[in-house]
Amino acid sequence: MIILGIIISYFIGSIPTAYIYGKLYKGIDIREHGSGNAGATNVFRVLGKIPGIIVLVIDILKGVLPVVIVADVLGSTQVIERILFAVCAVCGHNWTIFLNFKGGKGIATSLGVLIGLTIKIASIRIVLILTVLSWLVSFAITGIVSLSSIIAGTFLPVIMVFSGQSFEIICLGVVFCIFVTLRHRPNIKRLLAGKEPKVKLPFHKK
Instruction: Determine if residue 106 is left, alpha or beta; phi over 0 gives left, psi from -120 to 50 gives alpha, anything else beta.
Output: left
Once rounded to an integer, what is the mean pLDDT over residues 179-195? Answer: 95
pLDDT over threshold 80, residue 177: yes
pLDDT greater than 70 at residue 167: yes
Give the model's pLDDT for residue 197. Answer: 87
**Which pLDDT value is given to residue 203?**
67
Instruction: Look over the chain and give the mean of its residue pLDDT values, rounded to a whole number.
Output: 94
User: What is the rounded average pLDDT of the residues 22-50?
Assistant: 93
Q: Which of 115, 145, 11, 133 is nearest to 3 (CA)?
A: 11
pLDDT band at residue 201 using 50, 70 and 90 as cut-offs:
confident
pLDDT band at 77 (very low <50, low <70, confident <90, very high): confident
Q: Residues of the chain with pLDDT > 70: what percent? A: 98
Signed CA dihedral, 52, 58, 59, 64: sign only? positive
Q: Chain-centre distance of CA 62, in angstroms?
A: 9
